[in-house]
Amino acid sequence: MNSNTKIDLLLTGVGGQGNILASDIIGEVAMAAGFDVKKTDTLGMAQRGGSVVSNVRIAEKVYSPLIKEGEVDFMLAFEKLEGVRWASHLQPGGVAIINNYAVPPLSVNLSVEKYPADAEVMQVLQQRSSRIYLVEGTLRATELGNAKTLNIFMLGCVSVFLPFKLDAWQEAIRQHLPEKLWKLNMTAFETGRKEIENVHV
Amino acid sequence: MKKLLSGNEALALGAYHAGVTFAAAYPGTPSTEIMEAIARFKDIYAEWSTNEKVAVEVAMGACYAGARALVSMKQVGLNVAADPFLAVATTGVNAGLVLISADDPGIHSSQGEQDNRHYAELAKVPILEPMDSQTAYDLMACAFEISEQFDTPVMLRTTTRISHSKSIAEFKETRSLPDRKIAFEPNMQKYVMLPVNARIRHPLMEERLLKLAVFGETFSFNKIEMGERQLGIIATGISYQYAREVFPKASFLKLGMTYPLPEKLVREFASKVNRILVVEELDPFIEEHIKAMGIKVDGKQYIPRAGELNSDIMESAGRKMGLIKATAAQEKPPVAIEPAKRPPLLCPGCPHTGFFYVLAGMGQRLKLPGAKEKTVKESNLIITGDIGCYTLGVYPPLNAMDTNGCMGSSIGTAIGMEKAGLSAKIVAVIGDSTFLHSGITPLVDAVYNLSKITVVILDNSTTAMTGHQEHPGTGVSVQGEIVGKVVLEDVVKGVGVKNVAVVHSFNIKELRKTIKGALDSRELSVVIVRGACVVQKPRHGETQAIDTEKCNQCGICLLVGCPAIQTQGKQPIIDIGMCTGCTICQQICPKQAIGPVFRIKTEAQN
C-alpha cells in the first residue's frame, strides 16, 4: 500500500440499477487491501426511478465521505444522462466509464425537457477528460440473460484500472450475492474486463 | 472485529452491545435502518410503534420498568414525540433511555430542515453527536451510561450523511447486559408529574445540567487535537470530517458531547489558538453557547445555516476568511448543457397512479403534452395531501395535490378549508401507515364537527416510502411475527363515519364511480383505495404494448405519468422491461390501442 494512494470513485445511475451494491463491493475490496474507506449514497426520496449517486473514497486515511467537485478519479455512469449530470465532478484526466443506455425522465416523455444527443454527452465529458469509455453494459448484461448483472459488469470495467487483486473482487462479489448468482456474475465481471480493452472513445 | 458499517448499523450494534433489551421506532428517513438492524437480534423486544409519540411513551415505560431502552426517529418525528420526550426528561429514568434523532440537513427526504439539538436544550438533556460509524458505535455505550449515571434521557443526534455513510468500525463480539432487574419501584414524587412533584423535579434538572457540564470536561470524546495555532476549529458530527479534510494543519476541539458544553475545555482551547471557527450544520447551536461564554468565535457568517455542508463549502468558507488562496485549479469549465431533471416518481404499476389519474381528471388538472396552459380559475376540487410515496402525485402530469405539511395534516387541513367557507369540493389523501400514525384523531374531529369532506386512504398495506416497513394495519411485527391487525374500515366506522367505501386501486371505472359518489354525497365520506405496493408485488399481469396502427398519438396514456410509457418522436411506446401489466393505460386508451404484448404483436403481423 502506497501512502500517497488516493482513489475517489463516483457511481451514478437511476434507482434500481444496482449502483449502491456495486459501491459496497468496491468498499469491501479496498478495505480488504488494507485501505481506509468511506462511502456514501445519496438517494433522494424515490424507491425507484430517481437519480442515485454513490461516493467511494479510498486512501490511507479518509475524512469526508463526499468527494470534492472536480476530484473524482473514476466515474461509473450506469445511465448516460446521469453521467452528464455529474460530469463536472470528474477530475481533469479522470476516467469515465459510461454505460451506453438511456432512461428518459418523465419530463422528456412529456416534451418539457430534452434528452441530450450522444454527441452532446461525449462533448460534455470530453471537456473534462480524454479518458472516456463508452461501454455496452446493458446490452452485454441482457445478452448474459440478466440485465441486473450490469452493476457487476461495470465493476469488471473499472477493476482494470484499480490496484486490487482479482480474487479480492471475486470474494467480495460472492459475499454480496446469493450463491445461485455467483457464476453468472463472475461471467459479467469478466465480460466487463474484456469490454474495456476495446472501447476507449 | 472490523467491518464497513453504515452509521445506522453501527448505532444499532452499539446499542445491542450496550445491553439494550427494548427498542421502539416509527420509520422515517434517515433513521429507519436503525430499527431494521436492531430488530434482527431476537433476544430483545423490538416494535414499530404507531407513531413517534407512542414510541417514546413505550420506551419510557420500559426504562421505568428497568429495561435499557432505545427509541429512534427522524427529525420531524420528534415534533410528534416532543410531549413524552419532555415528560421523561422531567421524571428522569430508571434504566437508561436513549433517543436517536436523525436530522436531515439538505432535506434529502423530509418536509423541512430543522436542528433538533434545540429540543435537547429545551428538555435539559445531554446531546451526543457521532462523527463516523466508529464513534456512532462507541457513543452508544456512553449514552446508556450517562443516562443512568445522571438520571436523564440522552439524545444521540445523527444526520443523514452519518447514518447513510459507511466507514470502518471496530466492535466487540459480545453483548454486556447490565446488572439490573426488571422491576418497577413506585416513586410518586419522581414518576407522577403533578405540579407539586414537577416543581421538585425542575431544580433537579438544572442541577443535572451543571453536573453533565462538569462530566463533559473530561469526557474522552471531547478532545483537543493541537496543530498549528493560527486556526482553531471547534467541530462535531460530519462537519468535523469536512473541516479536517480542508484544514489538515489546524488545531481542533472535537466535541462528541455538544450539550451542555465543557466550558473549561473550550476556554483552554481558546487560549491556545489565535482564531476560532465553529463548524456545524444548520443552526449556530455550539457557536451561540460559546459566544455566551464571552469567547470570540467565527461561525455562521462563513458557514451556511441552510443545507448540508461538504468540503467544497468548507473550502469556500476558508477563502472568504482569507485562510485559503484561490488557485487556477479551482476554476472549473462550465458544463455545456443543463441536464434534464430526474425527480422521484411513482413506480410503473404503482397502486396510487390510477387513483391520481381519476382525481386529476375530476379536478381538470391534466394537460396533454404541448397543450397551452389553462387560464387559472378557482379550482372546483381541492386536494390536501400527506406524507408518503403518494405525495409524488403532485408532479406533472398529474398535478394532483394542493397542500402537504406533516403527518396526518391532510384531514385537518381539509376540515379547516371547508369550515373557512371554500365552495370547492375538498378531498384529503392519506396513506394507510400515515392514517394510523396520525390520521385517526383528525377524522374524529371531522365526525364531531360535522365536516363534509371526503377522505381517501390509499392502502398499499405497507410503509412504502421508507422501504416497506410493517405497521398496525399489516398485522406483522418488525421481528416478522404475526401480531394484532388493525382493520382500517373498522377504525373508520368505529369513530362514526357512515359513508365508507372500499375500492380496488387498478380498476379505473370503479375508482371513478366510487370517488364521484363520495364527492357528490355532500356528507363526510371515506374511500379506502386498496392495492398492493408494486415493489412488493412486482407483477400484476401481462406486459402491455401499444398497437401503433390503432394509436392516434393523442397522448392520453402519457397523462398517467407512468415511467414505463415513453415516447419515440410523438409515438408513445411501452418499455417492456418496466411494464408490470397493471393495465391502467389500457383502461383509459380511447382507441383501445393498448393490450397484452403477445396480442399486439400477433395483430401487427396479421
Residues B232 and B201 in one domain: no
Q: Do B344 and A84 touch (CB under 8 A)?
A: no
Specify the pLDDT at position B199. 97
Q: Is A117 on the interface with B (CB under 8 A)?
A: no
Identify the domain boundary among B163, B185, B218. B218
Residues B150 and B168 in one domain: yes
Banded pLDDT at A64 (limits 50, 70, 90): very high
Nearest CA in chain B to A13: B342
Banded pLDDT at B343 (limits 50, 70, 90): confident
Banded pLDDT at A4 (limits 50, 70, 90): confident
Q: Do B167 and A104 touch (CB under 8 A)?
A: no
Candidates A57, A80, A110: best to mutate against B (most CBs of B within 10 A) is A110
Q: Name the amino acid, one letter, at B175.
A: R
Banded pLDDT at A199 (limits 50, 70, 90): confident
Alpha helices in B506-588 (DSSP H): 508-520, 584-588
Q: Is A5 on the interface with B (CB under 8 A)?
A: no
DSSP state of B142: H
Domain presence at residue A1: no
Q: Do B389 and A47 touch (CB under 8 A)?
A: yes
Other beta carbons within 10 angstroms of residue B399's beta carbon come to 17
Place of cell 370517488: B515
Integer Cα distance of B549 and A128 in angstroms: 45
DSSP chain A: --TT-EEEEEEEEETTS-HHHHHHHHHHHHHHTT-EEEEEEE-TT-SSSSEEEEEEEEESS---SSPPTT-EEEEEESSHHHHHHTGGGEEEEEEEEEES-----HHHHTTSS-PPPHHHHHHHHHHH-SEEEEE-HHHHHHHTT-GGGHHHHHHHHHHTTSS--HHHHHHHHHHHS-GGGHHHHHHHHHHHHHHHHT-B-
Q: Dump pLDDT digits (tens) for B390-401.
A: 999 999 899 999
Specify the pLDDT at position B336. 65
| Closest in A109, A112, A124 to B566, CB measured | A109
Q: For residue A72, give how far its alpha carbon lies from the nearest alpha carbon of chain B (Å).
A: 13
Question: What residues of chain B lie within 8 A of the CB of A51, using their CB?
Answer: 342
Checking if the pLDDT of B606 tops 60, the result is no
Residues B483 and B429 in one domain: yes
What ipTM was estimated for this complex? 0.95
Q: Give the torsion sign (CA, A27, A28, A33, A38).
A: positive
Residues B241 and B186 in one domain: no
Domain presence at residue B13: yes
pTM of the complete model = 0.96
Question: What residues of chain A lie within 8 A of the CB of B311, using their CB?
Answer: 64, 66, 68
Domain presence at residue B272: yes
Please give the interface size between A and B, counted as residue pairs whose CB atoms are below 8 Å apart.
160
Specify the pLDDT at position A3. 66
- Evaluate whether A164 touches A128 at the Cβ level (below 8 Å): no
Q: Do B558 and A63 touch (CB under 8 A)?
A: no
Listed in sequence order, the residues at least 6 apart from A36 whose beta carbon sits closer than 8 Å to its beta carbon are: A58, A59, A60, A61, A62, B168
Domain presence at residue B432: yes
Q: Give the torsion sign (CA, B398, B399, B402, B405).
A: positive
Q: Dump pLDDT digits (tens) for B233-277.
A: 999 999 999 999 999 999 999 999 999 999 999 999 999 999 999
Checking if the pLDDT of A46 tops 70, the result is no
Specify the pLDDT at position A42. 84
Domain presence at residue B599: yes
Nearest to A127 by CA among B331, B338, B332: B332
Domain presence at residue B481: yes
Q: Do B340 and A14 touch (CB under 8 A)?
A: no
Domain count, chain A: 1
Q: Dump pLDDT digits (tens) for B205-232.
A: 999 999 999 999 999 999 999 999 999 9
Banded pLDDT at B51 (limits 50, 70, 90): very high
Q: Dump pLDDT digits (tens) for B503-562.
A: 999 999 999 999 999 999 989 999 999 999 999 998 889 999 999 999 999 999 999 999
Domain presence at residue B360: yes
Domain that holds residue B79: 2-218
Q: Is A130 on the interface with B (CB under 8 A)?
A: no
Checking if the pLDDT of B33 tops 90, the result is yes
Q: What is the mean pLDDT of residues B316-343?
A: 79
B437 or A111, greater pLDDT? B437
Residues B171 and B129 in one domain: yes
Nearest CA in chain A to B28: A45
Burial B190-207 (b: 16+ CB within 10 A, else e): bbeeeeebeeebeeebee
What CATH number should be reported for the domain holding residue B299?
3.40.50.920
- Evaluate whether A75 touches A99 at the Cβ level (below 8 Å): no
Place of cell 487560549: B271
Banded pLDDT at A109 (limits 50, 70, 90): confident
Q: Is the peptide bond before A65 cis (omega within 30 degrees of 0)?
A: no
Specify the pLDDT at position B178. 81
Other beta carbons within 10 angstroms of residue B461's beta carbon come to 22
Residues B554 and B524 in one domain: no
Q: What is the mean pLDDT of residues A173-179?
A: 97
Enter the C-alpha cell of residue A167.
480474487
Burial B60-79 (b: 16+ CB within 10 A, else e): bbbbbbbbbbbbbbbbbbbb
What are the strands of the beta sheet with A131-135, ordered from one edge? A131-135, A90-99, A72-77, A6-14, A51-59, A36-42, B165-170, B2-6
Q: Dump pLDDT digits (tens) for B265-314.
A: 999 999 999 999 999 999 999 999 999 999 999 999 999 999 999 999 99
Q: For residue B28, give how far its alpha carbon lies from the nearest alpha carbon of chain A (Å).
A: 11
Domain that holds residue A18: 6-197
Burial B499-530 (b: 16+ CB within 10 A, else e): bbbebebbbbebbbebbeebbeeeebbbbbbb
Q: Do B311 and A68 touch (CB under 8 A)?
A: yes
Residues 59-88 of A with CB under 8 A from B: 62-66, 68-70, 81-82, 84-85, 87-88
Residues B156 and B289 in one domain: no
- Evaluate whether B552 touches B601 at the Cβ level (below 8 Å): no
Residues B176 and B256 in one domain: no
Residues B391 and B524 in one domain: yes
What CATH number should be reported for the domain holding residue B163?
3.40.50.970
Specify the pLDDT at position B372. 72
Percent of the residues in chain B that have a pLDDT greater than 90, as a whole number? 89
What CATH number should be reported for the domain holding residue A95?
3.40.920.10
DSSP B317-346: HHHHTTSS---GGG-PPPPSS-PPP----P
Q: Do B336 and A104 touch (CB under 8 A)?
A: no
Question: What residues of chain B lie within 8 A of the CB of A84, using their CB?
Answer: 335, 337, 339
Q: Do B565 and A88 touch (CB under 8 A)?
A: no
Checking if the pLDDT of A112 tops 90, the result is no
Specify the pLDDT at position B313. 97
Q: What is the mean pLDDT of residues B187-199?
A: 97
Checking if the pLDDT of A44 tops 70, the result is no
Q: What is the mean pLDDT of residues A131-155?
A: 96
Domain presence at residue A28: yes
Kindly report which listed range (A34-48, A62-76, B542-556) carries the lowest average pLDDT score. A34-48
Integer Cα distance of B152 and B141 in angstroms: 15
Q: Dump pLDDT digits (tens) for B558-577.
A: 999 999 999 988 899 999 88
Residues B273 and B212 in one domain: no
Domain count, chain B: 4
Local structure of B386: helix, strand or coil? coil
Place of cell 487483486: A165
Residues B525 and B552 in one domain: no
Residues B287 and B174 in one domain: no
Enter the C-alpha cell of residue B426.
375538498
Specify the pLDDT at position A66. 97
Place of cell 436542528: B115
| Closest in B4, B336, B535 to A127, CB measured | B336
